[in-house]
């Protein structure tokens, strides 16, 4: 008996996803336990709060080989630390500006709010970003 | 494969976000806007200008790490305007980040100041 393994040669963008511990990480977990399909090339990095995410993290992820970066946190008003996600939202414009200044298409990054009960929303966000990045093409030297 | 210039710009942007000036704006921008000391448009304009300048200053600094250079040499390597480089070098001198170390062909040679 012989087993055949087919390896897809299609390029799949690598996405670094920064998820807050209290909402989106649980949402991603729910997506998994609910068997909701989303691209497998996403690498989830758990942070305590999106307010913890320094703009450097996003730029560093792209520099170190990610094709796109997703930041996912609690809905405004639902932050476990009261206002961490609002700080992230204020920073986001700045990150987009820096990305553009560095000559990178801002479509490679995405900020979204997904609560612990929104596994589908998290999966949809990952899928949308992956599709956008797929259209833009690769942007990396490989993970380092 | 990512172009080297893009990679340099990303690295310069990463450095720029370490700058005190940008960090101050990130932290205080919203507060100033809420106190009506800055309008939203003015803040956006200011942030845009600061991000651009800080990235360019990091690009200049990265060039100076390689070797002390004149403005023409920096301009050739970074493709920035000479006037703009001078303006930023003067600001960097004010912040004690750059110093004049020599003179070459009637041009000053700038280097990063050792802290």
Q: What is the ipTM of this complex?
A: 0.71
Does residue A144 register a pLDDT over 60?
A: no
Instruction: For residue B101, count other CB atoms closer than 10 A to its CB.
Output: 12
Residues in chain B with CB shorter than 8 Å from the CB of A101 are: 9, 13, 51-52, 55
What crossing angle do the helices spanning A84-101 and B40-66 adopt, rounded to 10°? 60
Mean pLDDT check: name the lowest of A6-20, A41-55, A60-74, B16-30: B16-30
**pLDDT given at position B4:** 66
| Average pLDDT over all residues of chain A | 90
Which has the closest alpha carbon to B64: B21, B15, B4?
A: B15
Nearest Cα residue to A13 out of A59, A55, A68: A68
Q: Percent of chain B at pLDDT above 90?
A: 43
Residues of B within an 8 Å Cβ radius of A: 1-2, 5-7, 9-14, 16-18, 22, 25-26, 29-30, 44, 47-48, 51-52, 55
Helices and strands (H, E) in chain B, number of each type: 5, 3
> Within 13 A of A19's CA, how many CA atoms are on the CB side?
26
Dihedral sign for Cα atoms in the order A136, A141, B2, B6: positive
Looking at the predicted structure, is the pLDDT value of residue A12 above 90? no
Chain B residues in contact with A63 by the CB 8 A cut-off are: 7, 10-11, 14
* CA dist., res. B20 & res. A117, Å (int): 39
Query: Which pLDDT tens digit goes with each residue over A100-139?
Result: 888 889 999 999 999 999 999 999 999 999 999 999 988 8
Note the pLDDT tens digit of each residue in B22-66: 888 877 877 887 888 888 888 888 888 888 899 999 999 999 999
The model's pLDDT over A49-72, given as tens digits with 9 standing for 90+, comes to 999 999 889 999 998 889 999 999
Q: For residue B69, what pLDDT is reported? A: 95
Q: Please give the model's pTM, rounded to 2 decimal places.
A: 0.80
pLDDT of residue A5: 67
- Best mutation target among B13, B24, B45, B50 (most A Cβ atoms within 10 Å) is B13
- Position A14 scores a pLDDT of 93
How far the first Cα of chain B sits from its last, in Å, is 36
């Amino acid at each position: 008996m012989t087993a055949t393994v087919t390896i897809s040669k299609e390029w799949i963008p690598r996405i670094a996803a920064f998820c807050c511990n209290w909402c989106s990480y649980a949402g991603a977990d729910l997506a998994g336990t609910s068997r909701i399909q989303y691209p497998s090339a996403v690498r989830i990095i758990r942070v305590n709060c999106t307010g913890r995410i320094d703009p450097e993290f996003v730029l560093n992820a792209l520099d170190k080989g990610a094709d796109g970066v997703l930041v996912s946190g609690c809905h405004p008003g639902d932050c476990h630390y009261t206002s961490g996600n609002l700080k992230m939202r204020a920073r986001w414009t700045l990150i987009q500006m820096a990305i553009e200044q560095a000559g990178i298409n801002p479509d490679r990054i995405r900020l979204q709010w997904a609560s612990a009960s929104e596994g589908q929303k998290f999966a949809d966000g990952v899928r949308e970003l992956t599709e956008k990045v797929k259209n833009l093409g690769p942007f990396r030297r490989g993970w380092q | 494969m990512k172009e080297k210039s893009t990679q340099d710009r990303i690295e310069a942007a990463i450095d720029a976000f370490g700058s005190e000036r940008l960090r101050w704006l990130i932290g205080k921008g919203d507060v100033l806007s809420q106190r009506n000391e800055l309008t939203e448009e003015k803040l956006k304009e200011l942030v845009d200008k600061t991000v651009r300048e800080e990235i360019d200053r990091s690009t200049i600094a990265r060039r100076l790490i390689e070797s002390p250079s004149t403005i023409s040499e920096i301009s050739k390597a970074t493709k920035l305007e000479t006037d703009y480089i001078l303006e930023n070098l003067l600001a960097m001198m004010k912040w004690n980040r750059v110093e004049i170390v020599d003179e070459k062909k009637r041009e000053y040679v700038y280097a990063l100041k050792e802290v």
